[in-house]
Amino acid sequence: MRAVIAESYGAMPEVRDVPEPSPVGGDVKIEVQASSLNAYDAKLVGGFLDGEIEHQFPVVLGRDFAGIITEVGPGVSGFMPGEKVFGVVAKPRLGDGSFSEYVVVPEEIGLAPLPAGIDYRAAGVLGLAGVAALACVDAVAPGHGELVLISGATGGVGHYAVQLAAARGASVIATAQPGPQSDLMYELGAAHTVDRGGDLAAQVRRLAPAGVDAVVHLAGDPVQLADLVVPGGRFASSLGVGPEQLGGRDLSVTAIDAVPDRIVLDHLATEVAAGRLRPSIARTYLLDEVPQAFADFSNSGTVGKIAVAVD
């Protein structure tokens, strides 16, 4: 099958023919229709996950997938061939990925049925970013009318987090560059945007002189952001920032680890199907174009997700 692989730590992604994977006990095999790029994929290709998780080279890249089950391994009880599914490849070591014609994943983690009302393209950009966004917003638990600053709001995780926080009645302050990024933030429910290229602290202080109630940290300087939160406020980071890095502050700090369990995936899919959560796709690349997509992903100014069409 065709797949996008990395041959070694830090190697450029390339399209290759690789052996088709087979499901063993508890696994399902999926014919991938759609996927998307995540910052995680860029970190893997950059060699930044060396030492953090075992790699089995050549690593097939890609975490998100949406597609149709073609085969199930012995012991699979919850899924059948022919079923449409989506999710996140969540295995203890990197090797199998979703920038490929087929992917094999365990049924117990990272897999959910695709409900009516979502197409493959939307589901393919939902998994990892949606799970991380929901975990961040749950962690800061915004109340009605509370001010929540989302730093990195324009990216894959951020554009979902803006919508999820606004849906809970929060008044969202989104970092964005003026223009299309800022426009999208308002469309998705942000109450305010702040220019991330300007004096962030001054802009936020003008909107919230006493400080914001919570910060969702997806990019930027965590210490600067933490200084903008009211005493007793909340801070959630997708970048691994925990209480020890922000020591001494009167804040509830959560380092997020996005776990794509079935309940979370079902919830996200229901929200999309009901029109309450909108995946925003900046651009779609074919599988053969994914190496170029990696190059473009690192360009500043993207809004929302970069999708991959595998069909």
Ligand X SMILES: NC(=O)c1ccc[n+]([C@@H]2O[C@H](COP(=O)([O-])OP(=O)(O)OC[C@H]3O[C@@H](n4cnc5c(N)ncnc54)[C@H](OP(=O)(O)O)[C@@H]3O)[C@@H](O)[C@H]2O)c1
- Site for ligand X, rule CB under 6 A: 38-40, 43, 128-129, 132, 151-152, 154-158, 175, 177, 196, 218-220, 238-239, 256-258, 300-302
Residue with Cβ nearer ligand X (33 or 302): 302
Helices 262-273 + 127-140 axis angle, to 10: 100
On the 0-12 / 13-18 / 19+ scale of CB atoms within 10 A, 230 is: middle
Query: Which residue, 24, 36, 161, 18, is CA-closest to 89?
Result: 36
Sole residue written with tokens 């700090």: 253
Nearest approach, Cβ of residue 196 and ligand X (Å) = 4
Instruction: Tell me the residue nearest to ligand X as measured from the CB.
Output: 155
Nearest approach, Cβ of residue 22 and ligand X (Å) = 29
Determine the 3-state secondary structure of 229 from DSSP: strand
| Residue 288 DSSP one-character state | G
Sign for the pseudo-dihedral over CA of 137, 153, 187, 274: negative
Nearest approach, Cβ of residue 282 and ligand X (Å) = 9
Nearest approach, Cβ of residue 229 and ligand X (Å) = 16
Nearest approach, Cβ of residue 116 and ligand X (Å) = 27
Residue with Cβ nearer ligand X (135 or 287): 135
Residue with Cβ nearer ligand X (77 or 300): 300
Residue with Cβ nearer ligand X (67 or 304): 304
Residue with Cβ nearer ligand X (35 or 69): 35
Residues 6+ apart with CB under 8 A from 81: 69, 70, 71, 72
Determine the 3-state secondary structure of 100 from DSSP: strand
Nearest approach, Cβ of residue 130 and ligand X (Å) = 9
d(CA 121, CA 281) in angstroms, rounded, equals 9
- Cα 137 to the chain's mean position, in Å? 13
Tokens coding 309: 């069409």
Residue with Cβ nearer ligand X (152 or 233): 152
| Residue 148 DSSP one-character state | E
Q: Strands, DSSP E only, in 73-118? A: 84-88, 93-94, 102-106, 111-113
Q: What letter represents residue 195's amino acid?
A: D
In the beta sheet, which residues pair with residue 60? 5
Give the DSSP H or E segment for 297. Answer: helix 290-297
Nearest approach, Cβ of residue 39 and ligand X (Å) = 3
Residue with Cβ nearer ligand X (39 or 118): 39
Residue 147's CB is within 10 A of a number of other CB atoms, namely 24
Nearest approach, Cβ of residue 10 and ligand X (Å) = 17
Residue with Cβ nearer ligand X (102 or 297): 297
